[in-house]
Amino acid sequence: MDPRISLAPHMWDGQHELRWSIERIADEALDRAGVELDPRGYLIGIPDGDDALPVLVEPQRDAFDVTRLENLHPHFTSLFEERRARMCPSRTDDESTATWHPDHYLAALREGCRRDVMREALTRAATFDDRVVHVGISIVVGDYRVFPVLAVLRDPASEVPRLRTTFADGLGVPGNFPEAVIDDVLRAASHELDRVHPGSLIGLDAGAVLRSAADTFINGCASRAGQKFPHGLRDACDAVSAQTYEGRASLGSVVLAPQGHPDVACEVTFEHDVPVGVPRSFRKALEMTGPGFELLCDGRTVYGIGRMLEGYAPATEEVFEIKVVGNGAWELWHADTPFLRVDNGEPSLPRDVIDVETFAHAVNRVFPDALSEHVDALWGMTQACVRQQHGTMLVVHPDARREGERLLPQAYTIEPTHLGAHAFDALTKIDGAVLVSPDGKCHAVGVILDGAATGTGDISRGARYNSAIRYLAGRGKGSMVIIVSEDGRVDILPHVARRVRRASVERAVAQLVRAADGTTDYEKFSRLDSRAAALEFYFDAEQCEAVNEARESVEQQRWAEERVRMQVVPIAPHPAMDDSYFISPGAEGPPAPPN
């Protein structure tokens, strides 16, 4: 039988596999992008030509009130006619003034109207209120027009900075990188739906999705900056950030703006523009930049050197900045907000640089007797490290003087003192860590840390990070290590557990228990179980017992139905857990003590 022929309650054979694969690839890609949106995938089938057929939703979980999705075709048509009248003036008898719109333009306009109507209808029909719906391009499959849909959590999505401009040069553009990822997954789903025999996205690589989404997002920013049909800018940035110049790593900034923009001062104009697609030429031009002296680029070529003026109005969203921050690493900024970071070709959301409040609480957790002025001193040293063009490491030890003597001769011990900015810059030019006491006084520089391998390191991290892991597992117990990478990222060891809201923990447990009550939807239970597993540290005895019973109940049911089950390992309250790990309602609290 032709799999495109619809047989209720199916639109076609294999629709479950496609829906599941959409959700899987979206979850993996968004996770690698650095945001947890818990995407839910759906396929919405609207009868195409036969109004007697029902509206179908895959999966059938009562996520939407299907009665609110009926009779949408008139709404599709009316919105299309309204937009065509506004955006595409009618033909006139005078051929010289007639405006012609090719069929593909009108088809794209019509499809945009369908998606907008469907998104509004799904929002009204949703039985949930904690998610935002994204709708992909619809494709006719058999008797149905099928829309691929992803619904993501509203709160974490709203926390990601977003550009307000959603159209550039007449085309829709994503507001941030996660939206670009979602759009690319839905685009891949629509492409699969358009096959003669729709399959699944199981072979789609999350890394390819991320790179394509990065292209989509940065090209959208170039369009906002005035470039027509931009392309290749992400590849150019990857190449120039990886290119050395006479052995020196790439460091510098590029202002993305059209020539002649009133908020950009061009102090040097190239008579022959430098194409960004030629890495060697682009890298050589980047070497001429410095503080307040940046390359000026229109998205395809570098046309001069200058700077963005302080009077720029961020609301216009017309000027962006690309910061090359190290070997293979660059970031896309607008105003004072980073929107995208790429490390060795892997795009993601920029990691938040640790703020002073979080830093202060981390110090106070490890060193309860530290005074506010001591925290300020340590914070000042950390910021000085971030401003440098090379990485370094601060070791805060409760008995720094004795520890410095122990580490001789693999350290330069000095008289305990608070280092000034110039002295600190000079003393951190050499290899090794800076050893300080909790009051911020420096006791040694050029410190080579000792420690035995414990099997707890991270092969994906560098020598500084792993040497800190070994040191803390040995003679460095009770101390704190602040690792500053060349790109300005800050890691604090030992890891400080984040604080959470008590209501979030209670909700996760309650949802899992409800899902276990007579469930046959093992996919839904598995998703809720994964969320609960991430919060196990915060469970009290009663919650641990409830989760254990829910997991055992589901596995017993699975065994009765399928003669297969997963092994359940009972959980118990963590001995280090106390109420300090919870955020008070309405308050943002510090991280909890280290595990």
How is 365-387 classified by DSSP, letter by letter? Answer: HH-TT--HHHHHHHHHHHHHHHH
Return the minimum-mean-pLDDT range out of 14-23, 212-221, 239-248: 239-248
Q: Which token pair is 91?
A: 């033909």
**Domain end point (choices 471, 493, 515):** 493
Q: Which token pair is 252?
A: 């510098």
**Domain end point (choices 493, 525, 551):** 493
**Bigger pLDDT: 384 vs 150:** 150
Residue 20 in domain:
yes
- Domain residues for the domain of 107 are 15-85+103-222
Q: Parallel, antiparallel, or unpaired for β 264-275 and 480-484?
A: unpaired
Shared-domain flag, residues 315 and 394 = no
Report the CATH number that the domain containing residue 259 is assigned in CATH.
Answer: 3.40.1700
478: region left, alpha or beta (phi > 0 left; psi from -120 to 50 alpha): left
Could you give the percent of the chain with pLDDT greater than 90? 46
Residue ranges of E strands in 260-328: 264-275, 294-297, 301-308, 320-326
- 131 pLDDT above the threshold of 80: yes
Shared-domain flag, residues 509 and 444 = no
SS (H, E, C) 396-439: ECCCHHHHHHHCCCCCEEEEEECCCHHHHHHHCCCCCEEEECCC
Q: Are 163 and 176 in contact (CB under 8 A)?
A: yes
Shared-domain flag, residues 440 and 553 = no
- What total of structural domains would you count in the chain? 4
**Domain end point (choices 190, 222, 254):** 222
| Local confidence band at 280 (pLDDT 50, 70, 90 cut-offs) | very high
In this prediction, residues 154-177 reach a mean pLDDT of 88
- 593 pLDDT above the threshold of 50: no
The whole-model pTM stands at 0.77
Q: Angle CA(328)–CA(331)–CA(335) in degrees, nearest 5? A: 160
Q: Cα–Cα distance between 224 and 166 in angstroms, integer?
A: 9
Q: What is the pLDDT of residue 585?
A: 53
Q: Parallel, antiparallel, or unpaired for β 139-141 and 131-135?
A: unpaired
Shared-domain flag, residues 110 and 53 = yes
Q: What is the pLDDT of residue 586?
A: 45
Return the minimum-mean-pLDDT range out of 209-213, 326-330, 491-495: 491-495
State the distance between the two ends of the chain, measured CA to CA, in whole angstroms: 58
- 342 pLDDT above the threshold of 70: yes
| Local confidence band at 98 (pLDDT 50, 70, 90 cut-offs) | very low
Shared-domain flag, residues 64 and 136 = yes
Please enumerate, as own/partner, the contacts of 408-413 that have beta carbons within 8 Å and a separation of 24 or more.
410/447, 410/448, 410/450, 411/435, 411/444, 411/445, 411/446, 411/447, 411/448, 412/444, 412/445, 412/446, 413/443, 413/444
Rounded to the nearest integer, the mean pLDDT of the chain is 85
In this prediction, residues 88-108 reach a mean pLDDT of 62
- 308 pLDDT above the threshold of 90: yes
Which amino acid is it at 350?
P
Shared-domain flag, residues 259 and 370 = no
Torsion, Cα 537 540 543 549, to 10 degrees, reads 80
Q: Are 484 and 385 in contact (CB under 8 A)?
A: yes
- 161 pLDDT above the threshold of 70: yes
Q: Which token pair is 496?
A: 């400080």
| Local confidence band at 506 (pLDDT 50, 70, 90 cut-offs) | very high
Residue 477 in domain:
yes
Q: How many residues does the chain have?
A: 595
Smallest Cα–Cα separation from 533: which of 574, 571, 501, 576?
571
Q: What is the pLDDT of residue 421?
A: 78
Cis check for the bond before 9: say yes or no (omega within 30 of 0).
yes
